[in-house]
Amino acid sequence: MTIKIGISACVIGEPVRFDGGHKASTFCLQQLRPLVKFVAICPEQAIGLGVPRPAIRLQRDANDQIKLVQSRNPAIDHTSAMLTYTEKLLPTLADLSGYVVCAKSPSCGMERVRLYDDAGQQLGKIGVGIYTRQLMQRYPWLPVEEDGRLLDPALRENFITRIYACHDYQQQMQQGFTVAKLVSFHSRYKFLVMAHSPVAYRELGRLVASAKLFDAAELSQRYLINLMQALTNIASRKQHTNVLQHLQGFLKKSLSQAEKQELADLIHRYRQGFLPLMSPLTMLTHHLRQHPNQYVSAQRYLNPYPEQLGLRA
């Protein structure tokens, strides 16, 4: 099934910004678009704001409430309209596996949105867009990222990893949650989680081991939320090395001494920063073809997303 990704309409090139422009993302349009189905949304246009339109901003009132108002005339308040629209829309987005939002937007920004007080003084880049805040509260497990942050290779790779993990989980549980399905899923994701968070690796393991103590619906969501939170951590060279060494251990009886030493050297040189991750991964994959190991081959750590994205290169 095609992965569905929510996206701010301006980020895929639609001219819906307040000035009639767009913020087309090259990565989303050229690399990601062939692999997913985008659900493009402009909440500002959806509540009736035209194109072009007066600029809007986030404003904190005397009661510490965050409002969405017109920049030049704060008496024009769009908060109620935005919240009403969001409340109606969000239930229809439950099948999304990720969301790309427009950075700095008072409606869509994920973080560091400018916030003002009643007098028009800037309080700092401490706000979250009204629409995106509601989105993240409704779906705390949903991978959400800003278009600008996708320019960072590490953040981009991390986001795509989360999207594909989320989609895999959704597909696994599509016909209903069972403990057996959870055990099967977790078995495939153990080493990917270990690479991102050794602490979460242990915690998720304990959660799965005690699965029968929880209500099914509660456990399903709790596991997904904890999994997605774990994967938000950027995997370090040290943590990748730890996983690679664990996986090498499954092949210790199959490889010759020379092969084991060669792979160990590649892993060590990767940790030192002399080689990319693909070097030891390619060698490990080669040995798995020569000496099949069903458990290791099933690990999503080896191929967390389509190879054509080239993110680990």
Shared-domain flag, residues 145 and 158: no
Domain with 48, as residue range(s), is: 3-151
Residue 261's pLDDT band (boundaries 50, 70, 90)? very high
Shared-domain flag, residues 110 and 247: no
C-alpha to C-alpha distance for 15 and 51, rounded to whole angstroms: 8
Shared-domain flag, residues 136 and 183: no
Q: What mean pLDDT is reported for the chain? A: 96
By DSSP bridging, strand 122-127 and strand 144-146 are unpaired
Shared-domain flag, residues 172 and 301: yes
CB neighbours of 63 closer than 8 A, spacing ≥ 6?
A: none
Q: What percent of the chain has pLDDT over 90?
A: 96
pTM of the full structure: 0.95
DSSP string, 53-89: ---EEEEE-TTS-EEEEESS-TTSB-HHHHHHHHHHH
C-alpha to C-alpha distance for 83 and 134, rounded to whole angstroms: 8
Shared-domain flag, residues 165 and 142: no
Shared-domain flag, residues 209 and 110: no
Shared-domain flag, residues 17 and 27: yes
Residue 313 pLDDT greater than 80, yes or no: no
C-alpha to C-alpha distance for 156 and 228, rounded to whole angstroms: 15
Calculate helix-pair angle for 278-290, 257-272, nearest 10 degrees.
160
Per-residue pLDDT, averaged over 290-308, amounts to 95
Residue 283 pLDDT greater than 90, yes or no: yes
Q: Is 296 helix (H, G, I), strand (E, B) or coil?
A: helix
Last residue of a domain, one of 100, 130, 151: 151
Based on the structure, what is the number of domains in the chain? 2
- Looking at residue 288, its pLDDT comes to 96
